[in-house]
Amino acid sequence: MMNRLRVTELQDFLQAHAAQPPVLLDVREPWELQRAALRLPGTRALDIPMQELPARLNELPDDAPIVCLCHHGVRSAHVAAYLARAGFDEVWDVIGGIDAWSQEIDPTLPRY
């Protein structure tokens, strides 16, 4: 099942899952990561562009929550739904993506 998180809920979510740290799966392209990358304590960052995901599913743990992130939340929602259909148990999508994070949480993170 795919769940959704607002950026304002992400820190509380991470604290609640501290015993089993989530994977923060960023599905943006490498050039986007160069402009603005989100690295949060209490997560394991994994960068896999959306188009590469089917070939790289083996890199995802099946025993930890997966939080999907992209620029505005469209790609990450597709990826989260795909992972849920692929049998991953705990998958979350960050609504609004890194752009919402820049606007609501950390204005020092560049917007593009």
Domain ranges of the chain: 2-53+65-104
Cα–Cα distances in angstroms (integers) from residue 11 to residues 18, 21, 94, in the given order:
11, 12, 12
pLDDT tens per residue, range 4-40: 999 999 989 988 998 888 999 999 999 999 999 998 8
CA atoms within 13 A on the CB side of 94: 30
- Checking if the pLDDT of 108 tops 90, the result is yes
Architecture per CATH, 2-53+65-104: 3-Layer(aba) Sandwich (3.40)
pLDDT tens per residue, range 78-101: 999 999 999 998 999 999 999 999
Q: What share of the chain is helix, strand, coil (3-state, %, to 5)?
A: 40, 20, 40
Q: What is the DSSP letter of 94?
A: E
To the question of pTM greater than 0.75 for the whole model, the response is yes
